[in-house]
Amino acid sequence: MAQADVIAIEEHFATPELQALNEEAGAKGPLIDRLNDLGDLRIRDMDEAGIDLQVLSETAPAAQALDPEVAVRMARRSNDYLRAAIDAHPDRFAGFATLPTPDPTAAADELERAVIKLDFKGAMIMGLTSGYYFLDDKKFWPIFERAAALDVPLYFHPGNANKAVYDVYFKDYPVLQRAALGFTLETMTHGVRIIMSGVLDRYPTLKIILGHLGEAIPFLLWRIDNGIARQMKLPRSFTDYYRQHFYITTSGALSNSALACSIEEMGIDRIIFAADWPYQPNVPARKFIDAAPISENDRQLIFSGNVRKLLRL
């Protein structure tokens, strides 16, 4: 694959067949047009922002809200669909696999197929499985085992909160359910539970990516560490797990102070560029890193150096 100067890794598409099975099937307009496009429109938007490569992933909820048998079939079709798009534009696109997490064993097998046969760079997991299950449940550990064996990362992407949580937290203010607050709470909880579960002790080479500058966890590391240590003892500190196993991206989080906190807590080698296209536009995401008060070496590490190493691009 050609080396790229700017690589964005939380960039979405929609498989029409899979989209029709999910709740957003009736959505129309420019957003859906962009999700459906894997050619000229997308590349033109990338070129406007100076983005050389997108690592693409099926938009939420992907295959994770379907019955297991349907999820397995549709995840495979999604991954084959994406591979065809990459073949058409091999210098502009790479892929994260869609996984049929309702069938964890099949999900592990599909991850292996996607990495070995389709040359995908890992997988993106879209929140809760079946609207209920976090990935720390041991039934999902075959996915982690396979990711560690393949030496590829898993990207934890936000999804909607469980309905019971929605009814208590967001029903009165539904605007908060998604990007304003709910996505952060759901994905932050996912990341914290993974550390608490022991899966990182079982699979010590496992690598996990979180978007949106780590879903606020870098800001909260000391407090989480202190709160856990007062009531239980982990084999390592929470902060140690987070810094050694997690990478974070700049998707949808264009704040210099938040970026500075993330670099201070994680180190520059853990920060990766992403735009969250088409839910967030490419140009502001690019301009944000271009103008960030960091060194040129750090800027290039964020834009491409770190992700080339992580994904072996």
Compute mean pLDDT per 10 residues along the chain, 313 residues long, and list them.
Answer: 77 90 61 92 97 97 94 97 98 98 98 98 96 96 98 96 92 92 94 97 98 97 95 94 98 97 98 97 98 97 98 96
At 161 the three-state DSSP class reads: coil
d(CA 305, CA 7): 9
Nearest Cα residue to 218 out of 268, 168, 284, 171: 268
Nearest Cα residue to 14 out of 68, 61, 66: 61
Calculate the alpha carbon distances from 96 to 71, 182, 242, 283 in Å.
16, 24, 22, 23
Q: State the number of CA atoms in the 13 A half-sphere of 87 facing the CB.
A: 8
Q: In what order do the strands lie in the sheet with 154-157?
A: 123-126, 154-157, 208-210, 246-249, 271-272
pLDDT score, position 90: 97
- Kindly state the tokens that stand for 253: 């989080």
Class of the CATH domain delimited by 7-311: alpha beta
pLDDT score, position 2: 44
Q: Answer whether 9's CB lies under 8 Å from 53's CB.
A: no
Based on its alpha-carbon atoms, the radius of gyration of the chain, rounded to whole angstroms, reads 18
Task: Assess whether 276 carries a catalytic annotation.
Answer: yes
pLDDT score, position 23: 60
d(CA 160, CA 128): 8
pLDDT score, position 176: 92
User: Out of 103, 109, 136, 276, which one is annotated catalytic?
Assistant: 276
Q: Answer whether 60's CB lies under 8 Å from 126's CB.
A: yes
Q: Answer whether 145's CB lies under 8 Å from 203's CB.
A: yes
pLDDT score, position 214: 97
pLDDT score, position 30: 79
